[in-house]
Structure 1
């Protein structure tokens, strides 16, 4: 039986994200989610039909939590439409994702698991494709400098920089991150 308490479901999915980040996809069990959420044993199995359902919902929830809030979006629309503003936006992106480290690590686990689960691969492919297309459209519609290739190159470069930062932080120590983000934008986006 699938339960309908949305707050409990959200807490369980958030617990699943923490389990994924800590223990990997193999460690994501209903029992582990119950323990992480501090709920009675068997609770997660009442909310999710199977592990695939749990994987899929965790992926969706990660994206919900990674979305910028309204003030951040408003700030991205304020100010000049120049390379310096794109640098600010990329710093905000790296800082926002770094603040939800477990979510990003869980997303990496989901991506790896998607290579073995076609249904999860389809869900993640659609979600990430939509996210990339929305980012390109937002960038172009907002009048920021650069074209589609600029946005895609920034997307790819920032993603890998974030992976290094969150998984092997000693490769590029935190004091170098700001300079690296700025350098990536300056090299990808020509001066005005």
Structure 2
């Protein structure tokens, strides 16, 4: 029974993401989530204590779904550690995040809603801070070129490029997007200094 409840909860949260992306935070109601998930009216209210609970769980689920799968993680672990490989990985990351359009748009809606809801702001701030710290720690441990500041600058730069792609997709072509990612990596991530002989 618990597994079925977990699956139902995940389906409801995924439905909430779709509602957020399509209708915005103001359109996120239990009734709208029930309809999107194709479940009986009143189902969502049995799984979430209130709308804030639904909003915060939707945010957590977006981050969960944006994580690379095991195969991609293994490929990254065995990839080269030069700036060109890093640029390729960043192009793939931007493509992967952009392909989850509704998730990223829902996350933007949650960020806007967090400006009005202190508890949601607290939860999102913690989650984003964890994400920044995890990316920096992984980068430093992985041996890729660049330092913690470069990782943060790339995150900020690439996040806005993703927003541009999702909200105004005709501004840059996919080829321009890839070229911009390459340029960002080239300008932000310093090559390591050669070892003295």
TM-score normalised by structure 2 residue count: 0.93
CA distance in 1, matches of 2:63, 2:176: 27
Aligned partners of 2:21 and 2:105 also within 8 Å: yes
Deviation at 1:191, TM superposition (A): 4.0
CA distance in 2, matches of 1:171, 1:92: 19
CA distance in 2, matches of 1:50, 1:168: 33
TM-score normalised by structure 1 residue count: 0.95
Report Cα offsets for 1:146-177 as digits up to 9, x if no partner. Answer: 11111011111000000101111111122311
List 4+ stretches of structure 1 deviating above 3 A.
Answer: none
> In structure 2, the residue corresponding to 1:144 is in which secondary structure?
coil
CA distance in 1, matches of 2:77, 2:89: 10
CA distance in 2, matches of 1:8, 1:149: 41
> In structure 1, the residue corresponding to 2:79 is in which secondary structure?
coil
Equivalent in the alignment of 2:20: 20
Aligned partners of 2:147 and 2:189 also within 8 Å: no
Equivalent in the alignment of 2:144: 144
Q: Name the Cα RMSD after superposition.
A: 1.1
Aligned partners of 2:146 and 2:191 also within 8 Å: no
CA distance in 2, matches of 1:144, 1:173: 28
Equivalent in the alignment of 1:113: 113
Equivalent in the alignment of 1:125: 125
> In structure 2, the residue corresponding to 1:68 is in which secondary structure?
coil
Deviation at 1:89, TM superposition (A): 1.3
Equivalent in the alignment of 2:195: none
CA distance in 1, matches of 2:189, 2:55: 36
Deviation at 1:190, TM superposition (A): 2.9
> In structure 2, the residue corresponding to 1:5 is in which secondary structure?
helix
CA distance in 2, matches of 1:111, 1:142: 30
1:158 counterpart = 2:158:
yes
Question: Unaligned regions of 5+ residues in structure 2, if any?
Answer: 193-197
CA distance in 2, matches of 1:84, 1:36: 42
CA distance in 2, matches of 1:80, 1:38: 46
CA distance in 2, matches of 1:153, 1:61: 25
Equivalent in the alignment of 2:5: 5
CA distance in 1, matches of 2:16, 2:132: 25
Equivalent in the alignment of 2:87: 87
**Which runs of structure 2 are paired with 1:66-81 in the superposition (5 Å)?**
66-81=66-81
Deviation at 1:6, TM superposition (A): 0.6
Equivalent in the alignment of 1:51: 51
Aligned length: 189
CA distance in 1, matches of 2:10, 2:104: 17
